[in-house]
């Protein structure tokens, strides 16, 4: 903070600008709730993110990233690949593979494709102004 403000007084707005709140690190808890099909918790956590000022498109991109990983991993599981081969092929961090491997087994490949397609549709509708971002997130979580 001192380097940022040099010899000026550090104010609350400076701290808010440079320090991310804890809720942002909780995006992974939010994504876990969504992947576990816990709509109530997922919606509640999304609301907290939005209230804290997190960008809805950032939240959507994180959800998209997770479901893309689930889709890839589920496809490899269905092809008969073992955990270690999936880790090698995807080049994802082993922790990410471990979490996704367990979550991917809760979905069929066709369901993951359906969800991923819906994520794309919501993203498109948000970016073309057909739906506001907050509503798009709620629709997405409700559909999963």
Q: How many residues does the chain have?
A: 144
| Higher pLDDT pick, 120 / 16 | 120
* Structure confidence by residue, pLDDT tens digits, 61-94: 999 999 999 999 999 999 999 888 999 999 988 8
Task: Give the pLDDT score at 24.
Answer: 47
In this prediction, residue 94 carries a pLDDT of 87
Q: Where are the domains of the chain?
A: 55-144
Among 17-21, 24-28, 49-53, which range has the highest average pLDDT? 49-53
What is d(CA 75, CA 56) in angstroms, rounded to the nearest whole number?
28
Tokens standing for residue 130: 């057909």
CATH for the stretch 55-144: 1.20.272.10
Contact 138, 43 (CB under 8 A): yes
The pLDDT-based confidence of 96 (bands split at 50, 70, 90) is confident
């Amino acid at each position: 903070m001192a380097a940022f403000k040099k010899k000026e007084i550090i104010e609350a707005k400076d701290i808010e600008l440079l320090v991310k709140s804890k809720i942002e690190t909780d995006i992974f808890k939010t994504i876990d709730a969504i992947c576990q099909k816990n709509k109530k918790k997922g919606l509640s956590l999304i609301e907290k993110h939005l209230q804290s000022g997190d960008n809805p498109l950032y939240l959507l991109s994180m959800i998209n990233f997770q479901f893309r990983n689930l889709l890839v991993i589920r496809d490899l599981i269905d092809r008969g690949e073992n955990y270690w081969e999936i880790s090698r092929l995807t080049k994802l961090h082993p922790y990410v593979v471990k979490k996704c491997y367990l979550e991917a087994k809760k979905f069929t490949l066709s369901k993951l494709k359906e969800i991923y397609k819906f994520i794309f549709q919501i993203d498109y509708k948000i970016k073309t102004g057909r739906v506001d971002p907050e509503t798009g997130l709620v629709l997405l979580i409700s559909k999963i």
